[in-house]
Amino acid sequence: MSMSMMMMWPRDASSVEGVKLERDSAARVWRFAKPYRPQVVGFLTTVVVQAVLGLVPAILFGRIIDDAIPNQDRRLLAIFAGAIVGAALLSGIVGLYERYWSSRIGEGVIYDLRVALFDHVQRLPLAFFTRTQTGTLTNRLNNDVIGAQRALTTTLGTVVSNVITLATTLIAMFAIEWRLTLLALILTPFFVYPYRRIGQIQQAITRESMELNAAMNSTMTERFNVSGALLVKLFGRGDDELSLFRDRAVRVRDIGIRSALFTRGFMTALSLLGAMGTALVYGLGGLFAINGTFSVGELAAMGLLVGRIYMPLTGLTNARIDVLSALVSFDRVFEVLDSPSPLVDADDAVDLTEPEGRIEFRDVTFRYPRSDELIVAGLETPSSTNGVDESSLAPILDGVDFTIEPGQLVAVVGPSGAGKTTLTSLVPRLYDVTGGAVLVDGHDVRSLTQDSLREAIGVVVQDPHLFHESIGDNLRYAKPDATDAELIDVCAAAQILDVVRALPAGFDTVVGERGYRMSGGEKQRLSIARMLLKDPAMVILDEATSHLDSENEALVQEALAKALAGRSAVVIAHRLSTITQADQILVIDDGRLVERGVHDDLLAAGGLYADLYHRLVRDES
């Protein structure tokens, strides 16, 4: 490993402070690398061969001076010269194989870890994502995976290469002249100590540079998304934002110059120390040669070999930190992989086949999982609990009982925060109940496979999410093999077809980040079209028509009435038209089902529903 590379990746001792080399962690890493063990062996073999081949030029150069030149042996000179060229050629070939094994192992590990992490994380419950910092989680999926990859390639290869290079070089030097070898070793503290001390300073510079770059990147990320760009323009703060960005960019520039000059100065100092060591070897070795106790060829070989011991020694100075840092990356990856997911299919789970749509809540009690039940250390949102004792919090739902028969349209109403959305999230098993049971077609949802359960349920939420892809791709998320004719049919039913056809690219129009190129009503109608394309047996509408004007709402309500025929529908709505036509109305207050019935009966009862209804009448009048 060159000195420039070592300065490019300064060791950060603070990152492994208090970390110990645990056998269990190392053993688990080795087990994880099991599929790559033949490649690891091949990789290490090439490293050893290259270290040995590096000795050949120095030794043969000495033989040329001592044997070939004095004896005027042209044949021997040609053999030695050819051997030096052959060693260089062979070293280049071995280097290609080393790079091949390194990339095979590294890229293979990255692939395996990323796929495993992505698969595991996406199967974690929704509560995990509501309390987890997305940026930190993404960092685990990227930087820590790369750190783990470096553990099996760069770090392992560098440590082994330095050890083998140092060992073989010292053996060769002791074999030639032990006194000069000891002299060369006496200078090693002057390499090791400055490197460790100045390396700490370089760490601080690098850490500050990374923080400044992160702040600058954060500014760009926040200002360059649609919401951020819109806010800047509406408040006319473009010049202020430029000034803020310029200040941060200047600091990044200045610290980059400092780092470059510092690195160059340090490398120059080490080069001078290396030159002093070589000069001492040549000076004392020259005296030995004058006295006749040392040959000129041996002196030349020692001069070439002495430079091969300082770099490996400097690199091994921080070998422990390198290895522990690599294992820390693995531990952070394994920490996410080991995070438990309470929402898993039971061993005897069955598929929901030919769903009819009967939904039953039996004495359901629910509270959201505590932070310590879901969050991986280091991934939590700082304000996720705000110091509240979560064990003392009241349940969100308490003793809820009701039944929805197949084909019924049921409206769920209640004050804000009453638990309406929470209630609907239990049907597709986004969360598990704390007490009681939720049944679909007589099956406890915990006894069904999650894929088959969610395949039978269509959901349209108040703020639907669209991916930064085309309209067609967003619709086909519900049915990847859907034909163009099917897309046209569902868009016509959702009253969005005319809007799509008016766009220059039609169904190939990219909707933008989170669908920002579409209006709120257009996004909701596309979401409804996507739900219709899924063709579910049960439908959950959470304020699905809240962004529609009266004309569009009437059209969509008509389309939904036809589309929902024969399907069970649970609707959270504040619109009068949705509530009054429901087969059953459930009134939720403070997590309890306080009223149920049809519109006229509940209105005549004069309870909470009547208050809510009269408030809606005033709002819509």
Which pLDDT score, from 0 to 100, does residue 547 have? 57
Which pLDDT score, from 0 to 100, does residue 6 have? 40
What CATH number is given for 3-337 in this structure? 1.20.1560.10
Q: Which residue has the higher pLDDT, 383 or 571?
A: 571
Residue type, 321: I
- pLDDT above 90 (res 438): yes
Which pLDDT score, from 0 to 100, does residue 90 have? 94
Which pLDDT score, from 0 to 100, does residue 34 have? 81
Average pLDDT, the chain: 80
Q: How far apart are alpha carbons 230 and 460 in whole angstroms?
A: 27
Which pLDDT score, from 0 to 100, does residue 388 have? 43
- pLDDT above 70 (res 546): no
SS3 assignment for 71-139: CCCHHHHHHHHHHHHHHHHHHHHHHHHHHHHHHHHHHHHHHHHHHHHHHHHHCCCHHHHHCECHHHHHH
Which pLDDT score, from 0 to 100, does residue 146 have? 77
- pLDDT above 90 (res 163): no
Average pLDDT of the segment spanning 16-27: 57
Q: How many CB atoms lie within 10 A of CB 234?
A: 8
Q: How is domain 359-376+393-456+536-620 classified at the architecture level of CATH?
A: 3-Layer(aba) Sandwich (3.40)
Which pLDDT score, from 0 to 100, does residue 251 have? 85
> Cα 548 to chain center, whole Å?
37
- Segment among 291-300, 482-491, 499-508 with least mean pLDDT: 291-300
Average pLDDT of the segment spanning 372-376: 58
Within the chain, all domains assigned CATH 1.20.1560.10 are found at 3-337
Which pLDDT score, from 0 to 100, does residue 364 have? 94
Scanning the structure block, which residue is given the tokens 């009862």? Answer: 605
Q: How far apart are alpha carbons 619 and 621 in whole angstroms?
A: 6
- pLDDT above 50 (res 392): no
N- to C-terminal Cα distance for the chain? 77
- pLDDT above 90 (res 86): yes
Q: DSSP 3-state assignment of 400?
A: strand
Within the chain, all domains assigned CATH 3.40.50.300 are found at 359-376+393-456+536-620
Average pLDDT of the segment spanning 250-255: 85
- pLDDT above 50 (res 266): yes
Q: Which residue has the higher pLDDT, 406 or 463?
A: 406
Which pLDDT score, from 0 to 100, does residue 548 have? 62
SS3 assignment for 140-156: HHHHHHHHHHHHHHHHH
Average pLDDT of the segment spanning 80-85: 91
Which pLDDT score, from 0 to 100, does residue 202 have? 67
DSSP 70: T
Q: What are phi and psi of 437, to 5 degrees?
A: -155, 150
Which pLDDT score, from 0 to 100, does residue 232 have? 81
- pLDDT above 70 (res 600): yes
Average pLDDT of the segment spanning 347-372: 87
Give the model's confidence band at 1: pLDDT under 50 very low, under 70 low, under 90 confident, else very high: very low
- SS3 breakdown of the chain: % helix, strand, coil, rounded to 5? 65, 10, 25
Q: How far apart are alpha carbons 507 and 474 in whole angstroms?
A: 10
- Segment among 149-163, 195-209, 241-255, 281-295 with least mean pLDDT: 195-209
pTM > 0.75: yes or no: no
Give the model's confidence band at 135: pLDDT under 50 very low, under 70 low, under 90 confident, else very high: low
Q: Which residue has the higher pLDDT, 113 or 399?
A: 399
pLDDT tens per residue across span 39-62: 888 888 898 898 889 888 888 888
Which pLDDT score, from 0 to 100, does residue 10 have? 45
Which pLDDT score, from 0 to 100, does residue 403 have? 93
